[in-house]
Structure 1
């Protein structure tokens, strides 16, 4: 969810978690041991995570709108997704995000109740016959593909992006409570009987069939959507293509693992990677610290679970939960003073764990062509460098606090967009490269 009442289904759990955390250190959420990525180093990988954060934000938009753009074939969905992830007040960040997101194209999606996508699927029909009550709503998801224009529009990676909770949707709320069991046909159960059909639809994509090497499939999402993204990786049936990696933003502690047959669960977590990316202090981080459905954050292999702490904003626990804030911060963290920091994918072979996922070799073009790609962006910064200066230069104590903490200067925009560059301001107002602080 965006945060449109995003985490209220777990507010009580979050409150309990806050009390629990006051006495117990959240060692795994802020671990300084591999393979976790601390706030002090997340800027190195912001370029890598940004496209998936944009997809997770776009998942809140109507599928019909994206279908129309797809059918027009003009690539308008790229700009549409970026505009909905990053506010208009941050046009320089939008321009950067467009370049990063340019290779991706929307393929298909759904934002309605899922009975059976394929009525020839006997297993789905049997599960549907046993369904519980429903609210007439289903899991919203959008499928994106990273295309290779130079290779006849084949694709190298396909991503399934899930939407989080919106407003007072009953289906959304009861899905948030799926861990505790209910008589409802919630989103986890709808996906369980349809996930393999979705995977077949991906295999039937023209760009997938054109690829010389089978594209890897990943899943992503925000909040409830992040829980659903983890679930489809756990629930895909044996024998077909598997999800290689999950990129979960401000994720729900509910993954739906309790619905999956233990043997299938054990098979699907082999060589799986899950990156849980969160803004420090966002509301569900307390819930995840208090109660966390399988797999646990401490899992180091099969699956390999990484917590990726951003820590680039200040605000309320609910305000910090928004996906637009996180996407904007990731865009901001990819460069400093108009200079790109370079593309780097997180290591895949960590601690002796073998994994399915491999970073796409095409992404290395970001690093190789960085100087050309960011020439225009540097000119933008030369014209609007004032955006990087703290909004209250007279308050030297506050400015010093920003420098010490490495966080954005707090103001009225702190929970909706960056108030300054994500890197700390050097003493005296001069801009300097100061990595974000290590989590303690």
Structure 2
């Protein structure tokens, strides 16, 4: 075949085509060449072979050769280098951090920079090669099931102290709409609050898929049936859903939420700074709205739109019951000095309240203290996130102390002068001014 030319590294292609002609006979045109076999012989990807085939297997100069290089990353390279040194190599995350400080380039510019500076990225530990699996994944109908799980991250505060926060994650099994919220710990009361907030955001499904959490299941009986934790079983009956248990870290049943937790750590939490839990949850809600409104290839659509159209018909809204408010306001004992403990901080309760317990709810940076039956609001506190105690008005009774009165007539009298004004120091030497009698 005469029309095949060679320049640069293309003699490799010419030699491979000659070998193929000896085996299969001479090709009438380049359209008869099997690109898959040519790729195996040359080691060149099939995509590049298609581009070369359009040019008669002649490599043409790149279209950007000769054009002046744009230095869009001037002034931003140090920020990008710090992200790479911290292990953040996701181009979407890096682009978002740069756009927040005024970067106007595209993601391709960031990707090219990351590809040429991979030496800054810390080396990952070697992972075991996957064995492969042909198992069938677990699927559900629209609005039938959600998946939920906990994730954890360490926080370095401004005092160089490290503490841990928990991330509650819930995702729709069918459309992939997600919800995350952060708590100081993963106690059962925070699990209930997170689930109620997720139901307010997405609706109530028929089933919840989760693993063997301590706050969900105690153990299994002799027949293998789950023995639910008492408070969680009451919570299921109050809200109106059922729970299915899955194996921990099992991708075929609850892999969506486990992948969501990993995605939160790699995308949302990467190089994240915040002031307090309230600020972090505001950013988390904005992130959820952004992700739910973005096209996802896995579901071939926008999760928020699919959730409203397909799943919305099968979901139920959260009922407005007093029992739901009890879960949003956990109960706390009042200490002997008139404080309740919530999220590691102490808040004062008015002395006029006679009960031994009170219910607490935090909304943003405001803490509400209710009576034990939620019939009255006792007081509110501004959550400053300081470790110092927060007092309230009327926390302690104004005690009537004994007072001594004179038993004999008072004959002594003394005189009080007004406080001297801050005049010049030489005013005391003014002898012309007469002293008042």
Choose between structure 1 and 2: higher helix proportion.
1
- Scaled to the shorter chain, the TM-score interval is under 0.3
- TM-score with structure 2 length normalisation? 0.19
